[in-house]
């Protein structure tokens, strides 16, 4: 048994409502006076996946890109060509060397944001057209 925060009456079932921007636990009768409360977690918009502003060269299905299957080798080879250690590259990118190592062994896949970052720092292309036949 608990009490309604609006009318003060005892109530078995309580509802959360918003009245004048404040959340109250109220009885069913009082719940009609406010808007149903929705938790902020639901209200908050989900983070949009990273959408790169790329020039629209091609229009259509060919625009779909995927992480290249040989990203591990590509990252490793490019980094070595640049004469950088994991630590040095990590520092440049403000990322952990440990993560870079994982990418290079293929035990971890960079997410899109990280992949774009790698592309920028290494000057490589990690995202390839999903329709391409390369490897
Ligand atoms: Zn009430």
Which domains are delineated in the chain?
2-43 (no CATH), 61-129 (1.10.260.40)
Decide: residue 79, CB within 10 A, 0-12 exposed, 13-18 middle, 19+ buried.
Answer: buried
Helix or strand (DSSP H, E) at 91? helix 86-93
Ligand 1 ion local residues (Cβ < 5 A): 4, 6-7, 26-27, 30
**What's the gap in Å between 21 CA and the centre of ligand 1?**
17
58-90 pLDDT, tens digit per residue, is: 555 556 888 999 999 999 999 999 999 999 999
**What's the gap in Å between 44 CA and the centre of ligand 1?**
29
* CA neighbor of 75 nearest in space, from 56, 54, 67: 67
pLDDT for the residue numbered 67: 92
**What's the gap in Å between 29 CA and the centre of ligand 1?**
6
Q: What is the mean pLDDT of the chain?
A: 86
What's the DSSP call for residue 44?
A: S
**What's the gap in Å between 14 CA and the centre of ligand 1?**
9
Residues in the chain: 135
**What's the gap in Å between 39 CA and the centre of ligand 1?**
21
pLDDT for the residue numbered 79: 97
- Name the pLDDT band for 41 (thresholds 50, 70, 90): low
Query: Taking the model in full, what pTM does it have?
Result: 0.51
Any idea of the CA torsion for 79, 81, 83, 85, to the nearest 10 degrees? 30
**What's the gap in Å between 31 CA and the centre of ligand 1?**
7
14-29 pLDDT, tens digit per residue, is: 899 998 889 999 999 9
């Amino acid at each position: 048994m608990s009490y309604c925060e609006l009318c003060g009456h005892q109530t078995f079932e309580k509802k959360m409502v918003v009245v004048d921007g404040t959340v109250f636990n109220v009885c069913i009768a009082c719940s009609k006076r406010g808007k149903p409360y929705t938790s902020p977690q639901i209200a908050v918009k989900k983070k949009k996946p990273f959408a790169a502003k790329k020039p629209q060269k091609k229009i259509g299905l060919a625009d779909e890109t995927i992480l290249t299957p040989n990203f591990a080798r590509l990252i490793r080879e490019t980094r070595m060509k640049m004469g950088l250690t994991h630590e040095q590259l990590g520092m440049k990118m403000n990322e952990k060397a440990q993560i870079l190592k994982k990418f290079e062994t293929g035990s971890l896949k960079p997410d899109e944001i990280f992949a774009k970052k790698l592309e920028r720092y290494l000057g490589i292309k990690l995202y390839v057209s999903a329709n391409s036949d390369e490897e």
